[in-house]
Chains A and B, each alone.
Chain A
């Protein structure tokens, strides 16, 4: 027996899976090189070894496998990471306006990663090897998120104004740090930081895809078990505790999981704001605030959205590409303002936490 409020979730999942498949094909097809769906099928079959690789396809295959495919996969994974992250953070902060860009997670990760970019592999980051960027990104993201969380959740309640202001302050500090680093950096690095601050998938490679994929699978799998607990947390920390949940432990575990996947994705593709805000919001309006539904659905919708945004970024000013963050800001900021306005109009009970 399915509760009345749960009915139709399967339909949403199916629709989203269908959309994801379509958007993956679209994203794989469009760009400087165009691949027809039939061509994509042939090349994928060759890649997987289902059919023998034809020598005539060597160039196409190279472009498709080394450039296009990692980019498509990285965009999808990043979208899923940001969608899930927005959902998790809104659950942890018990507020629908929170997302990794707002509370400093992304900016902290960017600062951490920029340190490695500028000071390079030869310095104190040497023992970390090729993992230096993700590790420092995680350190920066975690520190930033913890500061904002601690400040805004004093006395078991979430204080929204403190949250917003602490987010502004932490973002400003991290932004200043990143700005300083790009100022002292020599030219190619500095340009890289600037471009990467706006989010880009142009640098996608298989190593990045693998790293983000592993972090996503682990962190998302872990957070899926927390759906019920996040629901209970909507009632407040005390009520959740009465239902047999340890809110402190839950929050710490999810903050770590969330920060890890956001930091690693940010280290690969740069800062992409507002996706984490819009995805859960759309799903809440469509269906429900039940986290056991929101978590998987936001992964799917996040991936679909990011594929579409990446296609737009590739098409809008050819042959150049628009940074991803510009598009997400243009679409996301008005949504953010709309939520803020509607909530304030509703009496703003949530503003007091």
Chain B
């Protein structure tokens, strides 16, 4: 039974170097199933590299990545690419397309790993459901390059959701969604909407692993936090309130103050140089 598993993606002693530059030093983290795992850290800390290694896009110089699936652990180097594509999906910062492609066709690409020559009725249902979930049903016939940045990002979200759609399958598979700074081009409404959808995925056996830049947004919505600095994990916690202030100040090179929202009583960080 999957309920017993405490890890979805396991990164073990991973190092990564490009030429002489060592980007990750012996990193080991366990991303927890059905949670919103957040990677935090300043620019150049190695967050995106760690994410790309965990997705299988980059091969680590040393160490390995395992996916803990109901049928057993699976190391990335023995995971067939198409089976991996049915298990995890990745939402990047921004996806540009030079050709006049319909929104529906973009989302259908998420189903490519699932069908051969022609999509099944089920694939098309999932495309429709994914568009509905991100609130883009009315845009399904529109031409992708003509949409605004926020709309394009929602279409991409629908595409990656369609790729790992996890409803109506029995037994439900364990799926994993990676978000690589997905909100950096979005206004606050789109940011919150995207994070809400990501949190909702936890209820359908989906693990979310995200690189987020907005610290307060991340701490407010995340379930488990991994703080990176200089290619090493310096803190791992599930309780956002336990993150020590001096660590934040040192890692991000800012002055940090804890403030309390007078209306909601929630605490948040206020930063200055």
Contacts and interface: CB of A to CB of B under 8 A. Distances in A.
Nearest to B160: A242
B252 to A, nearest CB: 28
Contact of B85 (A94, A235, A244, A349): A244
B58 to A, nearest CB: 10
Interface string A224-255: 00001001101110110111111000000000
Nearest to A246: B81
A130 to B, nearest CB: 38
Given A1-B124, A3-B124, A242 B89 contact: yes
Contacts of B101: 234, 288-290
Given A3-B108, A4-B104, A243-B163, A284 B99 contact: yes
Nearest to A242: B90
Interface in B128-148: 140-141, 145
Interface in A185-220: none
Interface residues of B, number: 35
A284 B100 contact: yes
B248 interface: no
Contacts of B86: 244
Interface string A279-311: 000001000111010000000000000000000
Nearest to A350: B98
A342 B74 CA distance: 49
A243 B109 CA distance: 8
B21 interface: no
Interface string B49-68: 00000010100000000000
B96 A242 contact: no
B98 A242 contact: no
Q: How large is the interface on A (under 10, 10 to 19, 20 to 34, 35 or more residues)?
A: 20 to 34
Contact of B104 (A3, A228, A238): A3
Contacts of A96: 98-99
B113 interface: yes
A280 to B, nearest CB: 10
Contacts of B57: 238, 241-242
Contacts of A238: 57, 90, 92
Nearest to A236: B95
A199 to B, nearest CB: 28
B121 A95 contact: no
A5 interface: yes
B96 A349 contact: yes
A168 to B, nearest CB: 21
Contacts of A239: 90, 92, 95
Contacts of A243: 85, 109-110, 112-113, 163
Contacts of B96: 236, 349-350
A4 B141 contact: yes
Contacts of B239: none
Interface of A: 1, 3-5, 94-96, 228, 231-232, 234-236, 238-239, 241-246, 284, 288-290, 292, 349-350
Given A1-B124, A232-B112, A245-B81, 17 more contacts: A5-B105, A94-B98, A96-B99, A231-B112, A234-B99, A234-B101, A242-B55, A242-B90, A243-B85, A244-B81, A244-B86, A244-B113, A284-B99, A288-B101, A290-B101, A290-B105, A349-B145
A-B pairs with the 5 shortest C-beta distances? A244-B85, A350-B98, A289-B99, A244-B82, A242-B90
9 contacts: A3-B105, A5-B104, A95-B98, A231-B112, A236-B96, A243-B109, A243-B112, A284-B100, A288-B100
